[in-house]
Amino acid sequence: MAGHEMRNEEERSWQDGAFVIRSVRSAVRNAEIDGKCELDDTGVGSVIAKEMKQRKESLEDFVKGGRADLAAQAKAEMTVLEKYMPRQLSKEEIEAVVRNVVAGMAAENLKMGDVMKVVMPQVQGKADGKVVSAAVREILRSEPFQR
């Protein structure tokens, strides 16, 4: 579904949109080659999320460097990517996933890294890793978790 829509967007003459779509399609192809399999919608969503993250970081750098022209281009590219991003989980939804994972783990295994290893595959492409990390940290630091 997303691949077909991307091809349609690419066919349009809008320069930034076509460039962004070509770069995403290239990143998807590279991921498929690296993984030696065709990506499903979740995999494509992860690639799009990675592309979005790269543009956010670039935008921050351009703003810090006083490059308004490049910052505007990065914003335009992010606008195109947002059309294809999977729905992002809310903070409450992320916390619910984390609480479910923590509830299912043995009390002695409540280490940040162990919880993250279980949570991240469940929210892949639907949540920023920094937000997930903050939620895990907050829940693990909160009062003793009730199972």
pLDDT tens profile 98-128? 989 888 887 666 788 888 999 998 888 788 8
CATH classification (class only), 91-141: mainly alpha
Residues 6+ apart with CB under 8 A from 135: 91, 94, 95, 98
For the chain, what is the mean pLDDT?
Answer: 84
Please determine, for residue 1, whether its predicted confidence score (pLDDT) is greater than 90: no
pLDDT at position 49, please? 86
Query: How many whole angstroms separate alpha carbon 115 and alpha carbon 118?
Result: 5
Residue appearing with tokens 């003459």: 13
Residues 6+ apart with CB under 8 A from 75: 59
Helices 68-82 and 15-35: crossing angle in degrees, nearest 10, is: 60
**Domain spans of the chain, in order of start:** 2-82, 91-141
First-residue to last-residue Cα distance in the chain: 40
CATH number of 2-82: 1.10.1510.10
- Provide the sign of the torsion angle of the four alpha carbons 81, 83, 89, 91, taken in this order: positive
